[in-house]
Amino acid sequence: MSSGTFAAYRPILIAIAALAALPLAVPMLVSAGLFAGANTFYNLMIFILIITLAAQGWNIAGGYGGQFSFGHAAFFGTGAYAQAVLQTRYGVNAWAALPVAMALGGLVGAVIGLLAFRARLRGSYFALVTLAFAEVFRILANATPITGGAAGTLVPLRIGFGQMQFEAPAAFFYLALGFVAVVLLLNRLLERSRFGAWLVAVRENEDAARALGVDTLTVKLKAITLSAAVTAVAGALYTQKFLYVDANIAYGAWISVEALLAPIVGGIGTVFGPLIGAVALIGLGEAAKTLIHSAFGSAVPGVDLVVYGLLLIVVIAFAPRGLIGLLRAGGGR
């Protein structure tokens, strides 16, 4: 590994180390009154990491490749349901179910991608068709017996490493962090690869890329497959964390929106964008909820999402390259 290569990965390794060290700060954060307890901290962090992973998936096709999907719920949900159904109905071990969930998510991505890209859908049209696919999956999952229908699927609580259910909340935090870390490194690898360069070329000017001999259909297909597989893992982790899925969670529009908001707010088509965006969105959302709760004396639903929407508009208006773009511009180039 040349020193140049190491330099490219150094910020990622530092970030991973910093995140891994976070549990050390938990007693301090709790005593400072920022969190009600260690569990509150871990639940929030795990949720942020799961959203980060879903967003990292979106960022591969949407950020690097410029294919704005509004329906990543199709992949998240497939991962979530596969993880739940394989365990409850087919007795598959949780660790063995995870790669299957990932593969199934990737497969769904490949099929939707093949249909959409073969039909030359771009921009708004691609956004709409992905949205429609996610809705079809949601309606089907709500109506077919294998997914538990409208009642959803409950994964039985059986704590044990073999079941991927842990007594200590820190364990699941490290599991989720492990996946996020792998995708952070994978994205840097992608950025520095020939495939990554083709993908960016497709985003910048697809016709020009094709004219220069890039097989744009294959590039886009590979991107959406990888993108879907990563988001499917996020879905599978969601199932393992909450031990329950139903159609509105798994295939709901909320996850499609979170998966695309985080990279856009954080910095589209960048390695750290999804992570920074997820932290900012969920952090600010939680802060707004707490603030309103203490101001009105009771919880007001939707406040966090109002913040999400406003943040999205503000970022598009004033920081089109996301928070990461602001950091770079502010930190002297």
Q: 161 or 296, CB closer to another protein?
A: 296
Q: 67 or 240, CB closer to another protein?
A: 67
Minimum Å gap between C-beta 289 and another protein is 11
Cβ-in-10-Å burial (0-12, 13-18, 19+) of 56 comes to buried
Q: 301 or 330, CB closer to another protein?
A: 301
Which amino acid is located at 304 in the chain? D
Contact 304, 99 (CB under 8 A): no
Strand duo 244-245 + 153-154: pairing? antiparallel
Looking up tokens 């769904």 gives: 108
Residue 304 is encoded by which pair of tokens?
A: 């966090």
Looking up tokens 């999956």 gives: 137
Q: 99 or 309, CB closer to another protein?
A: 309
Q: 177 or 201, CB closer to another protein?
A: 201
> Using only C-alpha atoms, what is the Rg of the chain?
20
Contact 68, 260 (CB under 8 A): yes
Q: Select from 36, 25, 255, 33 the least CA-distant residue to 131.
A: 255
Minimum Å gap between C-beta 23 and another protein is 32
Which amino acid is located at 87 in the chain? Q
For 318, residues 6+ apart whose C-beta sits below 8 A from its C-beta are: none
Minimum Å gap between C-beta 164 and another protein is 32
Which amino acid is located at 127 in the chain? A
Q: 115 or 168, CB closer to another protein?
A: 115
Minimum Å gap between C-beta 278 and another protein is 16
Which amino acid is located at 295 in the chain? A
Minimum Å gap between C-beta 58 and another protein is 13
Q: 133 or 198, CB closer to another protein?
A: 133
Minimum Å gap between C-beta 313 and another protein is 4
Looking up tokens 């709760």 gives: 293
Q: 103 or 253, CB closer to another protein?
A: 253
> Nearest 5 degrees, angle CA 314-CA 328-CA 323?
25
Minimum Å gap between C-beta 312 and another protein is 4
Minimum Å gap between C-beta 260 and another protein is 8
Residues in touch with another protein (CB under 8 A)? 68, 70, 115-116, 118-121, 123-125, 127-129, 131-133, 135-136, 139-140, 142-143, 150, 253, 257, 264, 300-303, 305-306, 308-313, 316-317, 320
**What is the rounded distance in angstroms from the CA atom of residue 309 to the CA atom of residue 312?**
5
**What is the rounded distance in angstroms from the CA atom of residue 83 to the CA atom of residue 285?**
28
